Amino acid sequence: QLQLVDSGGGLVQPGGSLRLSCAASGFTLDDYTIGWFRQAPGKEREGLSSISSRDVSADYADSVKGRFTISRDNARNTVYLQMNNLKPEDTAVYYCAAKSGWYPSLGINLYRYWGQGTQVTVSS
């Protein structure tokens, strides 16, 4: 059974950092394009970052470019989202997701497998 487990959320002060993890079971993450998404209360889910299978390329939303970095650790079958200089508007539930195909994408509807979400709260 293919499963994604995302973790690493928490409470952090503005300007702080968190690293989210997306661990896979039942399949090899490097065979899939992985995306990170978030959903704030009352808002639609938005795409933040995506890394293609085999690390060919990555993509970022303008709202997080320069602050967030996506990466893989194939030995741990895990994808990470390093988040720096966090702002209160980054508060949301964060999800990782997987899709087949070689190219990164922030298109939510393209992703088939989803993690359960991890809460990130940025507040002083």
pLDDT in tens, 79-98: 999 999 999 999 999 999 99
Question: Which residues have C-beta within 8 Å of that of residue 20, sequence separation ≥ 6?
Answer: 6, 7, 8, 9, 36, 80, 81, 83, 94, 96, 118, 120
| Environment class of 97 (CB within 10 Å of its CB; exposed 0-12, middle 13-18, buried 19+) | buried
Band of residue 53 on the pLDDT scale cut at 50, 70, 90:
confident
The closest alpha carbon to 115, from 21, 33, 17, belongs to 21
Is 56's pLDDT higher than 90? no
Using DSSP's 3-state secondary structure scheme, residue 110 falls into helix
For residues 36 and 63, what is the distance between their CA atoms, to the nearest angstrom? Answer: 13
* β-pairing verdict for 68-73 and 78-83: antiparallel
What number of CA atoms fall less than 13 Å from residue 124's CA on the CB side? Answer: 3
Tell me what pLDDT residue 46 has: 97
More reliable by pLDDT, 122 or 103: 122
